[in-house]
Amino acid sequence: MIGAPGTGRSATNRPSVDDSPPLIVAVTGASGAPYAVRLLQQLVETRTRTSLIVSSHGVRLLQSETEYRSVAELRSAIGADAWDAAITIYDDNDRGAPPASGSALSRGMVICPCSMGTVSAIAHGTSRSLIERSADVILKERRKLLVVPRETPLSTIHLNNLLTLSQAGAVVLPAAPGFYHRPASIDDLIDFVVSRILDHFSIVHTIGQRWTGQ
């Protein structure tokens, strides 16, 4: 499940990555780790510069919902050299890391999956962690913030917090795959959501099926 990881390359022949500012990717504790895994696979495959932040609850999520016990195991499965060429990891406790400053350029940020606790913290500007501070920076700098909540049902508090983020300029992209493409596997459902995330950041990819009107 979750697609076949790419093959690693030697350190002397690492794939080049684009020279655009990095995309900040955060993984928090909401159910939906397979979406995060597939997104990171695609970012490595498309050689997209990425700043990755995984919360402690995000690590626990990987352990409970995927075969990976750590980010290091995921790195190894995708391919360490290709991963290292594209992805830089930051500690969620390091609020002095580059994503915490507006002077550090980025192409935006996606939080996938995004817990309701993280939504609440961003909506109220508490900035208790690097993930929350980074999202705060993205909003104040008027860059794109995309959150992928995976929660059901939604309480009035959840809805109000998501509305606050939307009004502040964020894109709310629920992990709610469609079925008009007749998915034949869980991978198809995952790709539906991840392909929409990639589209929002203009990252060229070949996953998912686009609607043709027929």
Model pLDDT, residue 125: 96
Q: Where are the beta strands (DSSP E) in 42-105?
A: 50-54, 87-90
Q: What is the pLDDT of residues 131-190, one digit of tens each?
A: 999 999 999 999 999 999 999 999 999 999 999 999 999 999 999 999 998 999 999 999
Reduced to 3 states (helix: H, G, I; strand: E, B; else coil), residue 62 is helix
Model pLDDT, residue 19: 84
Model pLDDT, residue 11: 37
Cα angle value 192/193/197 (rounded, 5°) = 120
Model pLDDT, residue 18: 77
Instruction: Please tell me whether the overall predicted TM-score, pTM, comes out greater than 0.75 for this model.
Output: yes
Contacts of 44 (CB under 8 A, 6+ apart): 6, 50, 78, 79, 82, 83, 86, 87
Whether the Cβ atoms of residue 79 and residue 7 lie closer than 8 Å to each other: yes
The CATH fold assigned to 18-200 is Rossmann fold (3.40.50)
Model pLDDT, residue 16: 75
Q: For the chain, list residues with pLDDT below 50.
A: 1-12
Beta bridge partners of 52: 25, 89
Model pLDDT, residue 15: 57
For the chain, the structural domain boundaries read 18-200
Model pLDDT, residue 7: 35
Q: Where are the beta strands (DSSP E) in the chain?
A: 23-27, 50-54, 87-90, 108-114, 145-149, 171-172
